[in-house]
Chains A and B, each alone.
Chain A
Amino acid sequence: MSDVARNVELVQKLEKAYNERDYDTVRACLAADFVANTPGAEMVPAGVEGAIAANEGAVSFFSDKRSEILEIFGDGDRVVSHVRMTGTNDGGIAWAGVPANGKKIDTDWIQISRHGDDGTIVETWAQMDLPKMMVQVGAMPAPEGM
Chain B
Amino acid sequence: MPTPEENAATVRELIQRVLNEGDIGFAEKALSESYVERSPMPGGTADKAGAIAMFNMMRQQTPDMHIEVGDVIASGNKVAVRSTMTGTDTVGMTGTPPTGKSFSMGAIDVFTFDEAGMNTEHYGVYDIMGMMGQLGLLPAPPKQD
Contacts and interface: CB of A to CB of B under 8 A. Distances in A.
Interface of A: 4, 39, 71, 73-76, 78, 80, 82, 94, 96-99, 108-112, 125-131, 134, 139-141, 143-146
Contact of A73 (B70, B76, B94): B76
Interface string B87-99: 0000000110000
A75 B73 contact: yes
A91 to B, nearest CB: 13
A139 B143 CA distance: 11
A112 B141 contact: no
Nearest to B94: A144
B130 A80 contact: no
Which of B43, B124, B128 has the largest number of chain A CB atoms within 10 A? B128
The 9 A-B residue pairs with the shortest CB-CB distance, nearest first, are: A145-B43, A97-B141, A143-B42, A127-B125, A80-B80, A73-B75, A110-B108, A145-B42, A78-B73
11 contacts: A4-B75, A75-B75, A109-B125, A112-B80, A125-B71, A125-B108, A126-B108, A130-B128, A131-B128, A139-B142, A144-B94
Contacts of A80: 73, 75, 78, 80, 108, 110
B82 interface: yes
Interface residues of B, number: 33
Given A71-B110, A112-B108, A127-B108, 7 more contacts: A73-B76, A78-B71, A80-B75, A94-B144, A110-B110, A130-B128, A134-B129
A136 to B, nearest CB: 14
B140 to A, nearest CB: 8
Contact of B141 (A75, A128, A139, A145): A139
Contacts of B107: 127
Contact of B71 (A97, A112, A129): A112
